Structure 1
Amino acid sequence: MTMTMKDLVADARSRVGAVSPQEAEDAVRRGDLILDVREPAELEKDGRIAGALHIPRGILETRADATAQTAEARLTEARGSARVHVLCASGGRAALAADTLQRMGYDAALIEGGLGGWKSAGLPVES
């Protein structure tokens, strides 16, 4: 069966939990991690969440694999000890990324509404 991008996102969302932006912000205070999978230009244009780890979706697997030379310690250290709350612009890439992370052994969830939802909730964004 051929799938569209919309189908792939819906499939990923069926396996991935979601949290509100406020729940994600509260969880960071308890030691969880926010992972922003947007492209660098999006961060420059739309702002970023203070303290969030930025890894573009296109290279996530190379940074999430603890056995790779390109592994990102902040991410790999979260496996087994903290939840990774994934954010993109609106939620599609975050769902795909959270699904991938779960398959790699992480406790991952997407942040509902992405950065737009974060801003709508009145949570801080740096420029």
Structure 2
Amino acid sequence: MAKSMKDLVADARSRIEAISPADAHEAARSSDVILDVREPVELDSDGAIAGAIHIPRGLAEAQADPDTGKSNDALTAKRGGGGRVHVLCASGARAALAADSLRQMGYDTTVIEGGLEGWKKAGLALKD
């Protein structure tokens, strides 16, 4: 049976935890990181989170795999117990898919509840 994107997102969400924006922000002050999987145009138009790693959803797996030659060192340092990766997008769909893929690759992941809008509603700062 063919699955819709909604089905794929629901399936991914069944395997990953969600975290509040405030808790993700606090965790990122220690050993965790925030991974923003929105597109560069979204960062420009809607704002970006200071200190977050920005990797578009379509490149997340390639940059999370140290064997590709295209990996992101700040992200791969979290693989296999180096801290959690809290994933964010605009609404949560892309973040859920990315977090589930990264989980399968050996990362400890969560999805930030509410995406960027949840971040803003929590009163958390964006990059100047």
| Same fold, judged at TM 0.5 (above) | yes
| 1:121 aligned residue | 122
**Secondary structure of 1:66 counterpart:** coil
Distance 2:50 2:30 in 1: 16
Distance 2:27 2:68 in 1: 28
Q: Deviations over 1:35-91 (max 9, x none)?
A: 000000000000000000000000111100011100110000011210000000010
Q: CA deviation at 1:126?
A: 2.1
Q: TM-score, normalised by structure 2?
A: 0.97
| Stretches of 4+ aligned residues off by more than 3 angstroms | none
Distance 2:116 2:53 in 1: 14
Distance 2:118 2:35 in 1: 15
What amino acid does structure 2 have at the position aligned with 1:85?
A: H
Q: TM-score, normalised by structure 1?
A: 0.98
| 2:20 aligned residue | 20
What amino acid does structure 2 have at the position aligned with 1:88?
A: C
Q: Which consecutive residues of structure 1, in runs of 5 or more, have no partner in the other structure?
A: none
% identical equivalent positions: 61
Distance 1:100 1:17 in 2: 13
Q: Deviations over 1:74-123 (max 9, x none)?
A: 00001121000000001000000000000000001000000000000000
| 1:110 aligned residue | 111
Distance 2:127 2:106 in 1: 31
Distance 2:78 2:15 in 1: 20
Matches within 5 A, 1:38-77: 38-77=38-77
**Secondary structure of 1:126 counterpart:** coil
**Count of aligned residue pairs for this structure pair:** 127
Distance 1:126 1:105 in 2: 29
Q: CA RMSD in A?
A: 0.7
